[in-house]
Amino acid sequence: MAIVRTGKRSTTAVLCVALLGLAGCTAAPEPPDAGDAGVTTLRLARTGSFADVQIDAFSEAVATDSGGALEISIAEEYETDTNLIEEEIVGAVAAGEVDLGWIGSRVFAGLGVHDLDALTAPMLIDSLDAERAVLDSGIAAEMLPALDKLGVVGLAVMGGSLRHPIAVDAPVLGVADYAGLPFHVFHGEGAFETLALLGAAPVDVPPPQRDSGLLDGTIGAFENSVPYFASSFAEKGTPYLTVDVALWPSMGVLIADPEALASLDESARQALTGAAEQTAEQSVDLVDDEGGVIAAACAEGATFAQAGPDAVAELRTAVAPERARLAEWPASRGYLDRITEIVAEVDPVTPEIPADCSG
């Protein structure tokens, strides 16, 4: 049977106002329908920012490890176009309106939890190999207990694609190219501060407004991954991606409602947490196909630019104050130092760009 809640704690809307101070949150969903006898369905709320292949792998692992006793269903009512969707999902999980949430680590700083800040510190984790090294170190697992104060349980951190500057009129390379540029960043205080330090005019609007701004010229650039760029550059009119500038990685966090976990028997709970850990271990490998994606996008007319070592060094200097700001938080300072040491031992590798596709 599916997990059904009636009259449990506060609704999502109440939690958003009372706990998170947010307005306009998604209305509380209806309880899930009962599934097949002996099968428990866990509802997962996620944003569209993370790789479907990772969520599919997690869902398959849950079903396999539980012997078919657990299944994952996507709570589609949370796939909405608002720049506060990740805050809303955290609120929904804490309120017990959904069982699981998959959001970006970037959201937690705005909710008062800074333990995960270092995962998306600007231009720190600059390659997929560096992501693997950080996740393999166990640091991410050490960060997760801090989420208890938000009324959720952190199950795993999933490494994702790197996020690069993507532009309309010309590649965004050195600091001078950012000056006054209306640059869209996904909702999060760290990203906003970083683009301001680079001299850009940060824009924080929902994706539909971002897309219309790219087309009408009111937004000149945004940040996202190579796979997203490859799938959308033609319709968005953004043919330029700077491949050797990794602003930060996509870091997904899988969270759970503690009461939903407690309602599972020991075997089902171990299957769920084991599937989360397994997916986290595979997470970077699941999105590591940049070379193939780049070749395909080049054939369709995309341009992959390289800023070069001097420009990258200039960018790192410009964003250093944001890293210093993150280090002011005791919760993030130690993690920031440790991740810096780990990344320093990894040689970043820029994917090969076809000769006729370089700009």
The position carrying tokens 């090294």 is 133
Q: How many residues does the chain have?
A: 359
C-alpha dihedral (42, 88, 335, 289), degrees to nearest 10? 70
Q: What is the pTM of this model?
A: 0.88
Of all helices (H) and strands (E), which one includes residue 183? strand 182-184
Are 358 and 308 within 8 A, CB to CB? Answer: no
268 CB neighbour count, 10 Å cutoff: 19
List pLDDT tens digits, range 82-141: 888 999 999 999 999 999 999 999 999 999 999 999 999 999 999 999 999 999 999 999
**Tens digit of each residue's pLDDT, the chain (359 residues):** 335 433 344 434 334 433 444 444 444 444 333 455 689 999 999 987 667 899 999 999 999 999 999 999 999 888 777 888 999 999 999 999 999 999 999 999 999 999 999 999 999 999 999 999 999 999 999 999 999 999 999 999 999 999 999 999 999 999 999 999 999 998 888 899 999 999 999 999 988 999 999 999 999 999 999 999 999 999 999 999 999 999 999 999 999 999 999 999 999 999 999 999 999 999 999 998 888 899 899 989 999 999 999 999 999 999 999 999 999 999 999 999 999 999 999 987 777 888 888 76
Give 190's contacts (C-beta < 8 A, 6+ positions apart): 106, 109, 117, 120, 121, 122, 248, 322, 326
Residue ranges of alpha helices (H) inside 66-122 are 85-95, 107-110
The Cα diameter of the chain in Å comes to 62
Cα within 13 Å of Cα(47), Cβ side:
26
Measured between alpha carbons, how far is 295 from 302 in angstroms, rounded to an integer?
A: 9
